[in-house]
Amino acid sequence: MNKTANFASLLQITPFALVMLLLVIVPLGIIFVVSFFDYGYAQIIPSIIWDNYTDIFFSRVTLDLYITAFKHVAIVWAITAVLGFFIAYYVIFLVQTNFWKAIFLMACAIPFWTSGAIRMVSWVPLLGREGLVNQALVGLGIIKEPISWLLYSDFSVLLSYVNLLTLAMLGPIANSMAKIDQSLIQAARDQGATEWQTIREIILPLAKPGIAIGSIFVITGVMGDFFIVKKMSGSQINTPAGSIMNMITALEYPPAAAQSVIMLIVVLGIVAAILRVVDVRKELTQ
Amino acid sequence: MVKINDKRMSRRTLLKGAAAMAGTAAGAGVITGFPTVWAQNIKDVTITHIGSIYTTNPTVAAQAAKDLGFKVDMQTLDQTTQINRMLTQPETVDVTDFGNTAMGYFKGKNLIMAIPVKEYKWWDQTVPLFTKGTYPNGKPYSMQGYAPIKSQFWSSADATDYSLTPTDWIVGIPVMYNADTLGVRPDLVKRPITSWKDLLSSDFTGKTALQDGVGVGVPDAANALEANGDLTYVDKGNMTRDEIDKTIAKLIEYKKAGQFRSFWTDFDQSVQLMASGEVVIQSMFAPAVTEVRTRGIACTFQGLKEGYRGWYIFQMAMKHLDSGDKLRRDCVMEYMNWCNSGFNGAYFSRQGFYSSVPDTMKKVLTENEYGYWYDGKAATADILDPFGKVMEHAGAKRDGGALWDRMGNVGIWNTLMDEDRYLNKRWQEFISA
């Protein structure tokens, strides 16, 4: 590469590098530094202490927080992966015209048509003790007493996650599937493959990068959420992100920063593991 | 010539100000409270008031601008954002307001101005809750939690620490106050509720809720635990570590047994919980009770034998005003005096809050309104909310009776404890349990 080309490419990456530096690297650096500071009432005291980290590492609460979060991640990931894969499969391969494909994909975005706060409040008349679901079940004679675990429980938190994050999984998978050469599928059918064999041998391997990207969205979405878990559990379930939010509300920034650093490492670890298993770069360069 | 050194004033407004000064000779001194020479250039002043949803609203801002001749830019923020804004960009704020759960943050911060008592013209008519630290009958009130007298006075003009005895410098002007209790759905509870311990009663397992926080939820829970005989405290509003440990342990026990349906973080949630019948007894704020009732659902908010949980909101001026533009500081003081002069107080009185200067309310509320809201009398005609919607019909009486029947029986005040750091840690455990 000659010098001019080198200079040109440097010039090209400069704006993005600056944005990354100023809006991502520097703030993260500040968070890291603050995580070692002492604190008082609405006050950050710049003297180094280890308590913020020892509190995290030697507390039973931390373990509980991460167990809860990982449980949520595992369940939501499994459900959204299955749902996302099969809905995408249906839309891409079984729906014939592009018009209807677009309509179906757009329909998947319906949960996003309203604001988060309203969406959360709307679950109450549906899932509450006096809600529609309970009324229907009691009315049909299936249950005698209204079920209370439909709302303010693990169930309602997971339901809300699935409701919102299935689209995040479905989108990338549908994108991967749309890129699959139809002649491959035709060839498989010509060889006498059943529908299931085609899915397993052809579509699933080729959709892997989409699944990986969708998984990153879902996992970071669940790990980073404090709003849904707070509202849907009635503040009765705590997660690492929820605990960070509680500390911020109490104006306790140093311990919140320490918890954020730990969480960042954990989430980056998960993402790195996914990227090791699936070569996403291949997908992006296709 | 008035010195204008406000950064936000552009060259254009400066020129306009100068032109206005030139025109002052024409004598347009219609604005009350200000010397005539100021009347023209104050119209270019905009003061920024950041506050809660209860203290900032467009109706009052518009009336203030109309009455005072300068603009008041009201901004509604949540408490965390509000404090951050004051700490990081103090010069963008002129007036701010906070309740007792935040007053502990401002000691030694060099943020809030010491207001000389003589500059606040309603002080002599202010209820003694604030001026003397007593009820009007001279009796002392409960000092559990952040009682008004604990954050009303600066110990000296340098505004670093609070004084428990009156001084010449006030931290803020008292705006509104109230006494909260448990909200109850009488149709679903089906028995009289007389004590805070009913929050923990097995009659209501899975049908109770608490405010989610250490400043209100914990005092409510402590009230219930003490009433129930589970624990005793020296000061529920300022617990020792040992008391915090015991409280959290007990609460975890109740939580695991399924006593609580939910913990709410905002007004709408508390309304929703009550209106939907998910919860039949819970921590509640007065306007949320009103909101449930305007939906035609019975909801009571009566006194309990352990007393009410009291709170208040102070309006404060930022310290930078003392060293900045004199005109701006004068406008701020004029505005703060205006806030307790009638209109604003009438507005929030119609939401069920009390004015710190009840006498001024007699002039702006109708006799029927004053009787209903302040004297605990039966309404003689429909009671309207600030938006003109009918809230109560003739014959209705306010829960808890007259002002001092409610406010004169405070058991604990909303709080910020000395062991806040420890309490927050333990509260996380409670939510995680």
Please spell the DSSP secondary structure of A45-111, one letter per residue: EEEE-SHHHHHHHT-HHHHHHHHHHHHHHHHHHHHHHHHHHHHHHIIIII--SHHHHHHHHHHTTGG
Shortest distance between the Cα of A140 and any Cα of chain B, in A, equals: 21
Predicted pLDDT of residue B19: 41
Shortest distance between the Cα of B329 and any Cα of chain A, in A, equals: 26
> Which pairing describes strands B46-51 and B95-99: parallel, antiparallel, or unpaired?
parallel
Shortest distance between the Cα of A268 and any Cα of chain B, in A, equals: 24
Quote the Cα angle for A181-A186-A188, to 5°: 105
Shortest distance between the Cα of B393 and any Cα of chain A, in A, equals: 29
Shortest distance between the Cα of B238 and any Cα of chain A, in A, equals: 15
The answer to whether B260 contacts A236, with C-beta atoms less than 8 Å apart, is yes
Q: Cα(B120)–Cα(B340) distance, rounded to whole angstroms?
A: 10
Residue A12 neighbours by CB distance under 10 Å: 10
Predicted pLDDT of residue B330: 93
DSSP symbols for B364-410: HS-HHHHHHHTS-PPPSS-EE-TTS-EEE-TT---TT-SHHHHHT-E
Residue B324 neighbours by CB distance under 10 Å: 18
Q: Cα(B96)–Cα(B51) distance, rounded to whole angstroms?
A: 6
Q: Cα(A232)–Cα(A237) distance, rounded to whole angstroms?
A: 9
Predicted pLDDT of residue A286: 56
Asked if B209 reaches chain A (Cβ–Cβ under 8 Å), the answer is: yes
Q: Residue B138: which residues within 8 A CB-CB, separation 6 or more?
A: B128
Terminal alpha carbon distance of chain B: 65
In this structure, what token pair is assigned to residue A177?
């599937």
Asked if B327 reaches chain A (Cβ–Cβ under 8 Å), the answer is: no
With H, G, I as helix, E, B as strand and everything else as coil, classify residue A125: helix
CB contacts of A39 in chain B (<8 Å) are 421
Backbone angles phi, psi at B112, to 5 degrees: -105, 140
Q: Residue B99: which residues within 8 A CB-CB, separation 6 or more?
A: B52, B311, B312, B313, B314, B414
User: Is residue B71 within 8 Å of residue B47, measured between CB atoms?
Assistant: yes
User: Is residue B341 within 8 Å of residue B347, measured between CB atoms?
Assistant: no
Shortest distance between the Cα of B81 and any Cα of chain A, in A, equals: 9
User: Is residue B400 within 8 Å of residue B179, measured between CB atoms?
Assistant: yes
> What's the DSSP call for residue A154?
H
CA B58 to chain centre: 18
Asked if B105 reaches chain A (Cβ–Cβ under 8 Å), the answer is: yes
Nearest residue in A to B80, CA atom: A249
User: Is residue A161 within 8 Å of residue A228, measured between CB atoms?
Assistant: yes
Terminal alpha carbon distance of chain A: 25
Q: What ranges make up the beta strands (E) of B202-259?
A: 208-211
Which domains are delineated in chain A?
Answer: 59-285 (1.10.3720.10)
Q: Residue B65: which residues within 8 A CB-CB, separation 6 or more?
A: B71, B72
With H, G, I as helix, E, B as strand and everything else as coil, classify residue B313: strand
Q: Cα(A76)–Cα(A157) distance, rounded to whole angstroms?
A: 10
- B288-319 exposure pattern, b = at least 16 Cβ within 10 A, e = fewer: bbbbbbeeebebbbbbbebbbbbbbbbbbbbb
Q: Which of B100, B89, B96 is nearest to B112 (CA)?
A: B96
Q: Which of A121, A246, A252 sits opposite B268 (nearest CB)?
A: A121
Asked if B263 reaches chain A (Cβ–Cβ under 8 Å), the answer is: yes
Q: Cα(B251)–Cα(B97) distance, rounded to whole angstroms?
A: 32
Residue B316's DSSP bridge partners are B96
In this structure, what token pair is assigned to residue B334?
């004029």
In this structure, what token pair is assigned to residue B296?
């035609």
Asked if A61 reaches chain B (Cβ–Cβ under 8 Å), the answer is: yes
Burial class of residue B30 (count of CB atoms within 10 Å of its CB; 0-12, 13-18, 19+): exposed
The answer to whether A243 contacts B261, with C-beta atoms less than 8 Å apart, is no
Taking CB atoms within 8 Å and a gap of at least 24, the contacts of B32-37 are B32/B67, B33/B68, B33/B334, B33/B337, B34/B69, B34/B330, B34/B334
No. of helices (H) and no. of strands (E), chain B: 16, 17
Q: Residue B50: which residues within 8 A CB-CB, separation 6 or more?
A: B56, B74, B75, B76, B77, B82, B85, B86, B93, B95, B96
User: Is residue A232 within 8 Å of residue A72, measured between CB atoms?
Assistant: no
Distances (CA, A) of A26 to A49, A265, B380: 22, 17, 64
Question: In terms of DSSP H, where are the helices of B308-350?
Answer: 320-323, 326-339, 343-349
Q: Looking at this protein, which amino acid is placed at residue A116? A: G
The answer to whether B269 contacts A151, with C-beta atoms less than 8 Å apart, is no
The answer to whether A250 contacts B104, with C-beta atoms less than 8 Å apart, is no
Q: Cα(B196)–Cα(A166) distance, rounded to whole angstroms?
A: 44
Q: Cα(A273)–Cα(B260) distance, rounded to whole angstroms?
A: 40
The answer to whether A235 contacts B432, with C-beta atoms less than 8 Å apart, is no
For A:173-212, CB contacts with B below 8 A are none
User: Is residue A216 within 8 Å of residue A271, measured between CB atoms?
Assistant: yes
Shortest distance between the Cα of A213 and any Cα of chain B, in A, equals: 31
Q: What's the CA dihedral at B101, B102, B103, B106 to 10 degrees?
A: 160
Any idea how long chain A is? 286
Count A/B contacts: CB-CB distance under 8 Å. 90
Per-residue pLDDT tens listing for chain B (433 residues): 344 444 444 444 444 444 444 333 333 334 455 555 566 778 889 999 999 988 999 999 999 999 999 999 999 999 999 999 999 999 999 999 999 999 999 999 999 999 999 999 999 999 999 999 999 999 999 999 999 999 999 999 998 999 999 999 999 999 999 999 999 999 999 999 999 999 999 999 999 999 998 999 999 999 999 999 999 999 999 999 999 999 999 999 999 999 999 999 888 889 999 999 999 999 999 889 988 988 889 999 989 999 999 999 999 999 999 999 999 999 999 999 999 999 999 999 998 899 999 999 999 999 999 999 999 999 999 999 888 888 888 999 998 899 999 999 999 999 999 999 999 999 999 999 8
> What's the DSSP call for residue B41?
G
Q: Which of B211, B274, B285, B265 is nearest to A117 (CA)?
A: B265
Residue B308's DSSP bridge partners are B410
Asked if B398 reaches chain A (Cβ–Cβ under 8 Å), the answer is: no
For B:268-307, CB contacts with A below 8 A are 268-269, 272-273, 276-278
Q: Cα(A253)–Cα(B251) distance, rounded to whole angstroms?
A: 26
Per-residue pLDDT tens listing for chain A (286 residues): 567 878 899 999 999 999 999 999 999 999 999 999 999 988 899 999 999 999 999 988 999 999 999 999 999 999 999 999 999 999 999 888 989 998 998 888 888 888 877 888 788 889 988 889 999 999 999 999 889 899 999 999 999 999 999 999 999 999 999 999 889 988 998 998 898 999 999 999 999 999 999 999 999 999 999 999 999 999 999 999 999 999 999 999 999 999 999 999 999 999 999 988 887 776 666 5
- Secondary structure element (H or E) that encloses residue B412, with its range: strand B410-413
Q: Looking at this protein, which amino acid is placed at residue B150? A: K
Asked if B85 reaches chain A (Cβ–Cβ under 8 Å), the answer is: no
Backbone angles phi, psi at B390, to 5 degrees: -70, 125
CB contacts of B425 in chain A (<8 Å) are 55
- 3-state helix, strand, coil split of chain B in percent (to 5) is 40, 15, 40
